[in-house]
Amino acid sequence: MNAFDNPPVSKPDVRFGIVILADQGWARAARRWRLAEEYGFDHAWTYDHLGWRTLVDGPWFDAVPTLTAAAGVTSRIELGILVASPNFRHPVSFARQLTALDDISGGRLVLGIGAGAGATSFDSAVLGIPPLTTWQRADRFAEFAELLDEILRTDRVTFRGKYYTAVDARNLPGCVRVPRVPFVIAGHHKRSIELAARLGDGWVTIGTKADGLRRWWDSVAEGISRLKDALDAAGRDPATMPRYLQLDAAPVFSLSSAGYFADAAGRAGELGFTDVITHWPRPDGPYAGDEAVLEAVAAGLLSRHEGRNRACLSAESSSLTTPASPSSMAAGWCSASRSRSWKTTRVTARWPISRR
């Protein structure tokens, strides 16, 4: 019996994503990106670093060309950066890269944005960046996100801030999805969550570092509560904000077994997360695991998609004769979910399908 035969997922519309680390040459990595789509994942991501933790002395590839190549071997799955780093990205040049990637992918790009790791990270050390305090990193994060947002929305932007400058920056032809690619803003504490509530189209968290699973899940629940408060204060409906949980920040790798993955995804759904993200298993080191577990999880994802498609066909058929029935509402959801909008069923008012 597959672990997804009776998964404890209370919200059937929880979506699934996977991170594919950029530590393999494309001749090998292409297979993983193809399979991520074939397996039924809704979104696939890669990290944005100049080098990462214990893998810094091994092969590593940039996020933007990696996703550009991934766009060429996929057609449906959303492609994302988890998360873009102000440590080495500049909003002016990065906006050009994102516009090109968004165009090549046909509007499937989703941009995660974070504050950037602290002074001990390789991204900071390799560039000789003077150490920033936590407060300064939060200031830079806000300035980075605000300027990037402005450039992606508006042609000919001039801005002079504490950390970044733009002089008559151009943005044509603009993004495929209007007004710009969706921002999924990362953070778990007050200032980053307030930024997500003000500027984000989604929020992603890793919780806080904890010794045990119970404490980690408690921290995740606290983050959800902070987000709700911040959205309320910003005058936004919490139901319209996609909420992503990076499962592998927990003390246990989410793909340690198919059963554990199903349980973790179910728990995330119960807490109010709309999306969960795992990592492609590696042979050793970070995210060490067995690809057979990923295949078992994938079989469950495909079953979910097939079941959802059958339900959609039935609902759409019923809606032809009973337009006011629950089936007609389900048919509308199905129709919307097939379109290539940004979370069409959740934030239609904010992200209409309007292409340049």
The total of structural domains in the chain comes to 1
Q: How far is CA 96 from CA 105, 184, 262, in A?
A: 14, 19, 39
In a domain, 103, yes or no: yes
Identify the pLDDT of residue 301: 85
Identify the pLDDT of residue 307: 61
Q: How far is CA 102 from CA 64, 292, 348, in A?
A: 10, 32, 20
In a domain, 289, yes or no: yes
Identify the pLDDT of residue 309: 57
- CB contact at 8 A, 77 and 42: yes
The tokens for 25 are 């040459």
Structure pTM? 0.86
- CB contact at 8 A, 151 and 111: no
Identify the pLDDT of residue 118: 76
Burial of residue 269 (CB within 10 Å: 0-12, 13-18, 19+) is buried
The alpha carbon torsion through 297, 267, 282, 206 (nearest 10 deg) reads 150
Burial of residue 200 (CB within 10 Å: 0-12, 13-18, 19+) is buried
Q: Residue 302 maps to which CATH number?
A: 3.20.20.30
| CA distance linking residue 214 with residue 309, whole number of Å | 36
Q: What is the mean pLDDT of each run of 10 residues along the chain (356 residues)?
A: 39 86 97 97 97 95 98 98 95 98 98 88 88 93 98 98 98 96 96 97 95 96 97 95 98 96 96 97 96 95 67 52 38 36 33 42
In a domain, 345, yes or no: no
Cis ω on the peptide bond leading into residue 173 (within 30° of 0)? yes
Q: How far is CA 220 from CA 10, 207, 208, 225, 347, in A?
A: 17, 5, 7, 9, 23
In a domain, 339, yes or no: no
Q: 């991501």: which residue's tokens?
A: 45
In a domain, 132, yes or no: yes
In a domain, 10, yes or no: no
Q: How far is CA 131 from CA 123, 135, 139, 209, 331, in A?
A: 12, 12, 14, 22, 53
| CA distance linking residue 203 with residue 190, whole number of Å | 13
In a domain, 181, yes or no: yes
Identify the pLDDT of residue 12: 53
CA angle, 19 as apex, 295 and 24 as ends, to 5°?
90
How would DSSP label each residue in 55-83?
GTTS----HHHHHHHHHHT-SSSEEEEEE
142 lies in which domain range?
15-315
Identify the pLDDT of residue 302: 75
In a domain, 352, yes or no: no
